[in-house]
Amino acid sequence: MKRDFFKRGVAILTLAFLPLVSCSDDDSNPMPQGNTIADVAASNANLSVLVDALDRAGLTATLDGTGSFTVFAPTNQAFNAFLQQKGFDNLEEVPVPLLKEILLNHVVSGTATSSSLTTGYVKTLAKGSASSTNTLSMFINTASGVVINGGASNGGATVTTADVAASNGVVHIVGSVIDLPTVTSHAKANPNFSILVQALTRDDQPDFAGILSGTQSSPFTVFAPTNAAFGSLLTELDVNGLADIPQATLENTLKYHVVTSRNILAASLEDNMIVTTFQGGSFIVNLEGGASITDANGRVSNITATDVQASNGVVHVINKVLLPM
């Protein structure tokens, strides 16, 4: 029987998806009236390419209107570098639908000043090709400044100027354009998946990072074990480290966490649902008493966070590594 996934395990999910966007009640820094986000961008010469992009994508009216938004605004230098990287001579060469989603990937509903941002996931207004309903996720890391989706080297960005107030939200200027995230870039952005990334990129493995960055066999649904999950696995297998796991065992294990050609959202999970994996084996989803997975060996892993959306798939977080037969 299908159940409301979010009525169970609420505390766990809340910890994983900390609310990043909130309205400030600080009367000492009131929002200026008649000075919208679109106005802020237009008044800054270093954001002129962003202004042109918003006009071309038909989004100026959105950021000039009512509502409340947080915008991570790339500079002219950032936009020019992005265009060159993607092989476009100028802004006019970028297809409008693509440009629109890239711009919306810089916008979050609600007003989030730098002091209210916390490490975790937040939803942007962009959509990728994997889901028509679940908007793309953004991972914000506040451990050292404000780093988005792992920084520029991972298709993300770092805030260089924070808290430019507007009447309908706030603007944070960033040093690079935030690309549409893939399953791989989401994994790399979150430090809690660092061992998973090590496993995916081990020299003797298939090019998992490349596969999960692409569109062949996509969309992907990935049940991603945390670092703690991998630590428990090493203890369970009585090995010293990831390098001690044989090549074939690691390959089959990693493939067992991936479903191809499906973007399975939490709302689509059903009790006793059998899921066939990229590895060829299957596991069972359980919703009674909280969402979990029973693997082929009868081991149970809890699903602790859901619906981290990428442009080519979706990630759900689990607290135990699944093992195939």
Domain with residue 73: its CATH number is: 2.30.180.10
My answer on whether 151 and 247 are in the same domain is: no
Instruction: Note whether 196 and 310 are same-domain residues.
Output: yes
233 and 166 share one domain: no
Residue among 273, 264, 323 at smallest CA distance from 298: 323
Within-domain flag for 2 = no
Give 140-186 pLDDT, tens digit per residue. Answer: 999 999 999 999 999 999 999 999 999 999 999 999 999 999 999 99
- Note down the domain range covering 199: 191-318
Taking residue 228's Cβ as centre, other Cβ atoms within 10 Å add up to: 12
Structure tokens that stand for 309 in this block: 């959306």
Q: Residue 155 is which amino acid? A: G
Q: Tokens standing for 38? A: 């679109």
Q: Are 82 and 176 in contact (CB under 8 A)?
A: yes
pLDDT tens digits, one per residue of 186-233: 999 999 999 999 999 999 999 999 999 999 999 999 999 999 999 999
The answer on 71 and 204 residing in a single domain is no
Clarify whether residues 198 and 174 are in a common domain. Answer: no
- Both 119 and 152 in one domain: the answer is yes
Task: Kindly give, in sequence order, each residue whose CB lies less than 8 Å from that of residue 161, ignoring residues fewer than 6 positions away.
Answer: 172, 173
Residues 92 and 136 reside in one and the same domain: yes
Length of the chain: 325
Token couple for 168? 């309908």
At 93-139, the pLDDT tens digits run 999 999 999 999 999 999 999 999 999 999 999 999 999 999 999 99
Asked if 189 contacts 154 with a C-beta cutoff of 8 angstroms, the reply is yes
Please tell me the total count of domains within the chain. 2
Query: Is residue 7 domain-resident?
Result: no
